[in-house]
Structure 1
Amino acid sequence: MTNIMVFVAASSLVALSAISSAAAEGDAALGQKAFQRCSACHSTTDQKKVGPGLGGVVGRTAGTMEGVRYSAAMKASGLVWDEATLDRFLAAPRDVVPKTTMTVSVPKPEDRQNIIAYLKSLTQ
């Protein structure tokens, strides 16, 4: 391979890495729109609805918000809501916490990443 071909190949890999990293981080503005499906049960503050308020959820231990009726499974889960845990939970809540009362999933990875970016923006 010539030096030019090696440089082009390396540059392409760096560009693809940057693109996939940005996609993995999500877009908070798109996440705010995607969150609309969640807003029937969740607020973006500490206000409780059917489910807990999600303001400040990133870093919170699952099942610990005062005044919320959590399932016994959620209280006992020991989960801390970080990006990876939120992604897995939003993809398949009952696979992560069997017997959770949350039944709605977010099947598209890009929607999950955007929602997570939005949730993170609520705590900054």
Structure 2
Amino acid sequence: MASMEVNKAFAAVLTAGIAFMVSGLVGRIVVHPKPLHEPAIQIGEVAATAPTQAPAAPAPLEPIGPLLANADPQKGEALAKRLCASCHTFNEGGRPGVGPNLYGVVGAPHGHEQGFNYSAALKSKQGPWNYEELNEWLHKPSAYAPGTRMAFAGISNAQQRADVIAYLKSISPNAPPLPEAK
């Protein structure tokens, strides 16, 4: 009985194959394709043009001083906790995470956290973290320090950057005074 079932299955596969081949032959007999002498859809010539001028340099950031005058440290704290707390800590004496502890960062030298392994890009920066440098860093870390390991894309909104900087100033005992709003 088992061999009878095998024969039926084999016959079904063979019949399907023959039917497929016959339908292909009939299709070629019934339909006579005509070769195209020109494309059915005309595509215009694309002229290769070289750029006439270099791409425009990015616009400079607006000065952060005037925005800091009205910045809200509490909004900055909420924003910093949402955007930065996955990698950074903010409490005095806090241990670094993926990123360094940010307590006291305003006015501190670049690479201020002892024992944290900063990228060569940040180690090469001289001087303290001032308000304008923090503004540039928070806007786009990869532009401020090309080669940085920080994967954060940045904060495009200038007022939000000012709020975060105001918060960082509030947790920086040695922060310099705010620049005068011009």
TM-score norm. by structure 1 comes to 0.77
Q: What residue number does 1:73 align with?
A: 121
How many residues get paired? 104
What percentage of aligned pairs have identical amino acids? 33
Pairing 1:33–2:78 present: yes
- Aligned pairs for 1:104-123 (under 5 A) are 104=152, 105-123=154-172
- Cα contact 1:73–1:98 (8 A) shared by 2: yes
* Residue 111 (structure 2) aligned to one of 63, 71, 81: 63
Please state how far the C-alpha of 1:79 moved relative to its aligned partner.
4.3
Report the structure, 1 or 2, having the larger helix content: 1
TM-score calculated relative to the size of structure 2: 0.54
Relative to 1, partners in 2 of residues 1:84 and 1:92: Cα closer, same or farther, differing over 3 Å? Answer: same
In structure 2, C-alpha distance between the alignment counterparts of 1:85 and 1:29, rounded to whole Å: 21
Paired with 1:88 and 1:113, the residues of 2 have a C-alpha distance of: 11
Output the CA distance in 2 between the equivalents of 1:79 and 1:86.
12
Q: Alignment partner of 1:120: what SS?
A: helix
C-alpha separation in 1, matches of 2:88 and 2:127: 19
Match among 19, 24, 42 for residue 68 of structure 2? 24
Root mean square deviation, CA, Å: 1.6
Which 5+ residue runs of structure 2 have no aligned equivalent? 1-64, 174-182
**In the alignment, does 2:147 pair up with 1:99?**
yes
Relative CO higher for 1 or 2, CA cutoff 8 Å, sep ≥ 6? Answer: 1
Q: Contact between 1:44 and 1:53, CA under 8 Å: does it hold in 2?
A: yes
Deviations 1:43-64 (A, max 9, x none): 1124211100000000111123
- Structure 1: gaps (5+ residues): 1-19
CA–CA separation in structure 2 for the residues paired with 1:123 and 1:74: 20
Alpha-carbon distance, 1:91 to partner: 0.2
Q: Deviations over 1:68-87 (max 9, x none)?
A: 11101111111421111100
Cα distance in 1 for partners of 2:137, 2:75 equals 19
- Which of the two has higher C-alpha Rg? 2
SS of the equivalent of 2:77 reads helix
Contact 2:109 2:129 in 1 (8 A): yes
For residues 32 and 113 of structure 1, the distance between their equivalents in structure 2, rounded to whole angstroms, comes to 11
